[in-house]
Amino acid sequence: MTESSPLPGMIEPELLVATCRADGQILSRNDAWIRILGEDDGIWDRLTESDQKIAEQNFREACQGSLVTHALFMAIRPDRDLPAPVLLHFIPVTSSSDRTSGGGGLVAITGEILAEPDSWTENQTDRHRMATLGRMTMGITHDFNNLLGGILGHITIMETDGVLARSPAELTEHISTIKKAANDGASLIEKIQRYIRQEKKAVFEPVNIATLIHDCVILTKPYWYNEPRRHGIQIEVQYDAPDHIAVLGSGPELRDVFVNLILNAVQAMPEGGQINISAETDNKNMHISFRDNGTGMTEDVRTRIFEPLFTTKTGRGTGMGLSVALGVIQEHDGSISVTSEWHKGTEFKIVLPLQLDFPVSVVKENDPAERTSASILLVDDEEMVRNMMSRLLTLRGHQVTSCESAAEALLQLEDKSFDVILSDQGMPGMNGREFAENVRGRFGNIPFVLVTGDTNIDVDTQLISRVVSKPFKIEELDFVIHELT
C-alpha cells in the first residue's frame, strides 16, 4: 500500500501519543499529548470525572488484548472555558504469552484533539471538521456493520433451524420487519462507505413496488396504528398495487422515501384520518400515490416543501426528509409532485420508469445435495460475530475451527490443514492483512477470504483471494467458499 501526501490546503491534526505498562506506569508522552492532556502522574487527570472512569475501562480492555478505537472524551484545558473533545485509540502491544502469563504487555494510546485552534480561518476549521468526521465515520461503520451482521446472522439461524416456522404468525412478521430494517441499515452504511471511498452508486436491482409498499406499511405500523390508539386516535391505511411489476432501483432508498411520506401523512392527521396508497402502470411508467385527508398545506408551504432545511415541524424536524426524497426519485430518473388543499388533505405523486426487460443478477443457490463440505479456519476477535458465523457455516455443512486471534490461528495451521481461511481485518496484535502474509509465507497458497466491515479495503490480491463485506448473506459467503475449494 502506497502512502499519499495530504491534499493541498488540508490541515493535518497533531497526533497525541502515549505508551503505558499494564500496571499503569507511563513510559512516554509526546509534546502534543502533554500540551492537551498534561504530564500529571495520573494520565487521565485532565479528563472530566465521568470520562476518567471510561478511559480506565478502555485501558483495561486494551491490556487484555482488545483494540479500542474512536473513543471520544472531554478534556479540561486551562486555556479554554469549555472542555475540548479528544478522540483516542487504545492499541494493545502484547503477545499471546503476555496474556497467558497475566503480564499484560504494553498499551499504546494515540489520538487527536477535535477542537480547532482559534487562529484558524473559517475555511481551515470547516476542512478539519469534515476530515475528522470522515475518520470517525470509517470507524463507526466498521462497528455498526458488526452489529448488523450479528442481527442478520441470528435471524438467518432462526430461519435455518426452523424456529420461525414454529413461531406465531405475529412474531414471524415482527422478525421479518427487523430483518428488513437491518438490511436497510446495511445498505445505508454501504452508501456512506461508497461516498467515503468516492465510488459510484451501486448497480440498481429490480424492486417489486407492491412488496415495497406492503413492507413500508408494516414498518410504520407502530406510528399509524399503535401509538395513535394509545391517545384515542384512529388512523387507517389502505393500499393497493399491481403485483409482479418492478422498477429498477434501490429498494432501501425507495423504502426511505415511502416511509417518509407515510410518517408525514400521520403527522398531518392529529385527530385521525385515512391514508390511501395506490399504484398503477401505463406502458412506460409506474404511478404511485400517497394521499391523506389531514390538515393539508397552504400554497406557500406547498411551493417550498422540497427545499432543503424547510420544515413546518417546529423543534421536531430537520427539513431534509422531502428534499432527500426528491433527490432519490431524481436519481431513479423519476419525478415527485404534490397537490394539497388546506384543511382537506395532501397527495404526493411519484412517477418511476418501468423496466420490463431488466437483467437480473443473483447469486446461484447451491442445491443441498450438490454442496461439498469444506474445512474452514475462522478468525475474528468479536465473539458475537465469530459464534454467529461458525454456527451459520456449520448449518451449511462445513467443518469450522474458530479462533479469536491470528496468533491462535497460526498455531492451528501448524497442526491441521484447512480448505479455506476466513479472517476479519481489524484484530489486535496482528490484523487480517498481516495474518495473510504470515499464512502465505509459512503455509503456502491456502485460499484466504477477508470478511470485514472496514471502509478502506486495499488488499494484495496475491495474498487475499476474496473480500466479503460485513454484513453478508450466508448464501453469498457460501458461494465464495465453494468457488475457492
- 143-147, 187-191, 285-289 — which one is most confidently predicted on average? 285-289
- 307 and 399 assigned to the same domain: no
CATH of the domain at 459: 3.40.50.2300
pTM (predicted TM-score):
0.43
Regarding predicted confidence, which is higher, 362 or 464? 464
Nearest to 242 by CA among 218, 270, 213: 213
Same domain, 337 and 409: no
Position 87 in a domain = yes
Q: State mean pLDDT over 434-454.
A: 88
Place of cell 413492507: 215
Which three cell numbers mark 80?
A: 479554554
Q: Are residues 238 and 314 in the same domain?
A: yes
Pairing of strands 26-29, 68-75: unpaired
- The stretches of 162-278 forming alpha helices (DSSP H) are 169-196, 209-219, 221, 227-230, 251-267
The stretch 398-427 carries a mean pLDDT of 91
Q: Is residue 134 part of a domain?
A: no
For residue range 117-161, list pLDDT tens digits in order: 554 444 444 454 555 555 555 556 656 666 666 677 767 777 776
Kindly state whether residues 380 and 337 are assigned to the same domain. no
In a domain, 48, yes or no: yes
Domain span including residue 70: 16-115
Q: Are 173 and 208 in contact (CB under 8 A)?
A: no
Q: Are residues 229 and 335 in the same domain?
A: yes
Which of 115, 132, 148 is the endpoint of a domain?
115
Listed range (74-83, 342-351, 379-388) with the worst mean pLDDT: 74-83
What is residue 410's predicted lDDT score, i.e. its pLDDT? 94
Q: Tell which of 87, 115, 143 closes a domain.
A: 115
Query: Do 86 and 36 lie in a common domain?
Result: yes
- Residue 356, pLDDT above cutoff 70: no
Q: For the chain, what percent of residues have pLDDT higher than 70?
A: 72
User: Do 351 and 398 fall within a single domain?
Assistant: no
362 located within any domain: no
Instruction: Give the separation between CA 455 and CA 457, rounded to whole angstroms.
Output: 6
Question: What value does the mean pLDDT of the chain take?
Answer: 78
Residues sharing a CB contact under 8 Å with residue 450, sequence separation 6 or more, in sequence order: 423, 424, 425, 432, 433, 436, 457, 459, 464, 466, 467, 468
Confirm whether 158 is domain-assigned.
Answer: no
More confident residue, 461 or 276: 276
- Greater pLDDT, 313 or 4: 313
pLDDT tens digits for 319-330?
Answer: 456 887 888 898
Residues 214 and 252 in one domain: yes
- Does residue 113 have a pLDDT over 70? yes
Residues in the chain: 485
Same domain, 231 and 353: yes
Structural domain contains residue 450: yes
Mean pLDDT, residues 95-118 taken together: 62
Q: Is residue 4 part of a domain?
A: no
Same domain (yes/no): 208, 343: yes
CATH number at residue 327: 3.30.565.10
If asked whether residues 97 and 56 sit together in one domain, one would say: yes
Q: Provide the number of structural domains found in the chain.
A: 3
Same domain, 210 and 348: yes
Q: How many degrees, rounded to 5, is the angle at CA 454 between CA 249 and CA 372?
A: 80
In a domain, 101, yes or no: yes
Q: What is the pLDDT of residue 199?
A: 47
Final residue of a structural domain among 357, 388, 423: 357
Task: Identify the weakest region by mean pLDDT among 106-115, 160-169, 445-454.
Answer: 160-169
Name the nearest CA neighbour of 274 among 234, 236, 221, 248.
236
Lowest mean pLDDT among 174-183, 210-219, 373-382: 174-183
